[in-house]
Amino acid sequence: MAGSGAGPVRAIVGGMTVSVLTGRAPVTGAGPGRLRLGVCAATVAACVPYLGLKIAWLSGSTVGWNDTEAAKESALYVGNAITLGMDAIAVVVVLAFTFRWGLRVPAWLVLTPMWIGAGLLAPIALAVPLGALVQTLFSSEPLTASDSALQGWVFGVVYTGFALQGVGLLTAFVLYARGRWPDVFAVRTKDVAKGATHALQVLLARTAGVFAAAFAAVQLYWAFGGTAGIRAEQLDDRGAVQQLADGVMGLMALAGAVALLAIVRRAGRPERFAVPLAGVWIGAGATFAWSFYRLITLLSQPEFLDSGSSSALNLTTLSGLLAGLLMGVTGAVLLAERDAGVQSARPTASRTP
């Protein structure tokens, strides 16, 4: 019987079964309501200051810079162009989550940038407000170094914008996903069928857990004041915000790994499938995205790869990259198997009165 506990999880929208990874949902019903339009407008507005700064800098302006010579470095132009493109993609993605044409976009084309975007923005959305509060209440030191190449207000504008973007994108995505894949929010974890790849999922999840634990241990060590593995020139800039960010990253990696194990082992508790899935989504995205960003930074400065003092940082980056990637791959295998079950169940479902 369709929807029984032992059968595959099915995504049924408007009477049609929709694949999570490759399917397009039918475009039916009225347009977006006031809530979705409001979330979209607020998220786009949060992107505008950052986009404006990047466009200004790429046009040769030095607004917001203390060191105008540093603003002219060629590497910054490349970095600014890349980050400008990323924020522009965020605008397109939130529009797709809001308007009906977004249902025609292949699922992987919205899920991939959202996974990376959520991974980059979620830790900022959590750590920056809390870190700023802790720094303000318990420390007399400024939030940014006085000798920074950028003026203090730039950090406030950028990171406030990032935090708002993170909240807005995640809210828009949840509203979009509830309309496109409503079954994911209704099914319980224990009711998701175990298919042919279940043993592989367990192996990948356990391996990811090992790397996530190693990554989290170092991040939490740094969060509680440890300095081993941190380059000397970075120590002067560390404060409550950075330490809290390290702690948030460690906890997110652990949360993602634990949630993934709960899914692949089909824990018997009746929690909604969407709850641990959200934990995996955010934890894996944050661990992978920030580790990948850190790796790019290290590779752009190869002298640090050969430095004994940075070996802990290099190993932590590699552990985070592997943990996030393995969690993401395991989730993709789970969804692909789910989609295969949906496809094989279609003839039976079509004959159901």
What pTM was computed for the model? 0.79
Which residues, other chains included, contact 227 with Cβ-Cβ below 8 Å and sequence gap of 6+?
235
- Residue of 170, 184, 168 whose CA lies nearest to 277: 184
Are 194 and 335 members of one domain?
yes
Q: Which residue has the tokens 């692909």?
A: 336
With cut-offs at 50, 70 and 90, classify the pLDDT of residue 142.
low
Q: What is the chain's alpha carbon radius of gyration, rounded to the nearest angstrom?
A: 22
293-325: pLDDT as tens digits: 888 877 766 555 555 556 777 889 999 999 999
| Residue 350 domain-assigned (yes or no) | no
Q: Which residue has the tokens 């298919």?
A: 195
| Residue 328 domain-assigned (yes or no) | yes
| Residue 22 domain-assigned (yes or no) | no
Are 105 and 251 members of one domain?
no
- Let me know: does 290 contact 119? Beta carbons within 8 Å: yes
Give the model's pLDDT for residue 64.
86
Domain end, chosen from 180, 198, 214, is at 180
Give the model's pLDDT for residue 11.
43
Are 124 and 223 members of one domain?
no
Residue 233 has pLDDT above 70, yes or no: no
Which residues, other chains included, contact 124 with Cβ-Cβ below 8 Å and sequence gap of 6+?
159, 162, 163, 166, 245
Q: Give me the mean pLDDT over the 217-227 stretch.
A: 90
Q: Which residue has the tokens 């965020």?
A: 90
Residue 137 token pair: 């209440």
Are 236 and 263 members of one domain?
yes
With cut-offs at 50, 70 and 90, classify the pLDDT of residue 77.
confident
Residue 284 token pair: 């894996």
29-43: pLDDT as tens digits: 567 889 999 999 999
Are 304 and 163 members of one domain?
no
| Residue 5 domain-assigned (yes or no) | no
Q: Which residue has the tokens 């170094």?
A: 145
Are 262 and 149 members of one domain?
no
- Residue of 277, 270, 265, 272 whose CA lies nearest to 327: 277
Residue 349 has pLDDT above 50, yes or no: no
Rounded to the nearest integer, the mean pLDDT of the chain is 79
First to last CA, the chain: 11
- Let me know: does 305 contact 298? Beta carbons within 8 Å: yes
Are 167 and 279 members of one domain?
no
**What letter would DSSP give residue 181?**
-
Other beta carbons within 10 Å of 185: 14
Other beta carbons within 10 Å of 82: 12
Are 152 and 263 members of one domain?
no
Among 113-127, 190-204, 224-238, 240-254, the least confident range: 224-238
Q: Which residues form the domain of 169?
A: 32-180
Are 249 and 170 members of one domain?
no
Domain end, chosen from 146, 180, 214, is at 180
**Report for 4-18, 164-178, 305-319: range of highest mean pLDDT:** 164-178
Domain end, chosen from 130, 158, 180, is at 180
Are 338 and 224 members of one domain?
yes
Other beta carbons within 10 Å of 208: 28
Are 47 and 163 members of one domain?
yes
- Residue of 289, 247, 61 whose CA lies nearest to 162: 289
Are 238 and 324 members of one domain?
yes
Q: How many domains does the chain have?
A: 2
Rounded Cα distance between 214 and 250, Å, is 9
| Residue 3 domain-assigned (yes or no) | no
**Angle at CA 302, nearest 5°, toward 296 and 304?**
95
Residue 126 has pLDDT above 90, yes or no: no
